[in-house]
Each structure stands twice: as C-alpha cells, then as structure tokens.
Amino acid sequence: MFEKELVINSAALESILEADTFLVTPTPDIQSEMVQLLSKVGIFNLEDVLENGQLAPNARISEEFIMKNSDGSFDYEIIDIGGGKGRNILKFDMDKIERKVAPFVNAEVAGLLSSEQQAVAAWNVYIAKGSTPEEDDQMVQNANAASESWSYEKDLPLSQDKKVLFESKYKDYFMNNYLKQFITNQLPTVTQDAAVFDLEEAKKAQAQKLIADNNL
C-alpha cells in the first residue's frame, strides 16, 4: 500500500501509454526462459528434447560438439580422482557450441530489449551480478543489483553500449548457469572408456602416443 495517494495526471498517463511502458515494471522470468532456451539452441540430441520444450533429465550434448582425434576416436581429458586413479571426461568444442548458441541467445536478447523497462528489471534482478539461480532467488527478494543496477529514470532509453553489455552478460549468464552443467565432467559414452584406471600408467601411455603421433 502507498503511504500517500498516487496521483498521475492525464498527460503523463497518455505519455506512458504511447511509449508502451509500465507504471510498475514486471520482471521477466529469466530462469524459466533459460530452461526453455536450452532446448532451442540445437546442441542436444533430438530425443532429449521433450514435448513440453524442456530437456530430459539425462540429456546429453550431441556428438558433433564433442572433440575427437584424427582417427575418429574421442579426445578425452584425464582427471585425477584421488588414490592414484584417474578417469576420462569428454572435451567439448566450445567455439562450435558458442557459434551454434549465439543466434538463439541474440534472439532472446532482442525480445527482452523490445521492452527496455523489462530489460532493466532483468538486468537488476538477474543479469548484472552473473549470479547463480539460487543467489537470484535471494536477489529477487532484495530486488536490486547494488552498485551495478540501472536506473529507469537515468538509463532509459538504453544506450548502445548498455545494449551490447546486456547481450554479452546475458550470454555469460546462460553459459555459466545453465549450459555449464552439460559440459563439465561428462563421462564418455563408450563404456570401456568410462572405467577408472591407474593414473600413472595412463600418463605414460598418453606420452607414448604423443611421441608416436609426432614421430619424435
């Protein structure tokens, strides 16, 4: 409730309506939009995209975005899991993924920027901090992005620099908080390659392969 009566004259109201803006700006549901965006970007196996527009719980990125050796085998990164043991994890072609994702992210950004008031709301509540969805829940309650927030009064209409910054940070937010889980520590799809092995022996074998491949 307002402590004082809210008064707005007809001229000001007409100006707001003509500009297609809001007295109270709704905050876009960025979390839901990005969950939907995951299924649209075209990097997941088609069978992993459900009819409701979301990904299946066990969704995996398509093989065409996974790094391979010249002989067609998967190019793995070896990680140390302790106790002298290691295992393979998939390596992803991030340049190819980012090129594929970019047009879809740009389309989402264009939609948000079509209503700059809502873009400012999304920036202040979600995008500016580059926070996690869990942190966003608290930020929604606080309803600000502290010193990085944009002002409806001072920053609208948005300058081109701010639009470019919004697009860049929106992409980072999507990559870091939604796509990252599908490209981090992903086990091989080839069963025998997913087994735990002796780390020292694997490093020796890797070194020998490097020597053989380069005729050293």
pLDDT in tens, 1-41: 445 554 545 554 454 455 455 556 788 999 999 999 999 99
Global pTM reads 0.77
Confidence of residue 144 (pLDDT cuts 50, 70, 90): very low
Q: Kindly tell me if the per-residue pLDDT of 130 is higher than 70.
A: yes
Q: Kindly tell me if the per-residue pLDDT of 138 is higher than 60.
A: no
Which long-range contacts link 111-117 to residues 24+ away (Cβ below 8 Å)?
112/28, 112/166, 112/170, 113/158, 113/163, 113/166, 115/20, 115/21, 116/156, 116/157, 116/158, 117/21, 117/22, 117/25, 117/152, 117/156
pLDDT in tens, 42-73: 999 999 999 888 899 999 999 999 999 888 99
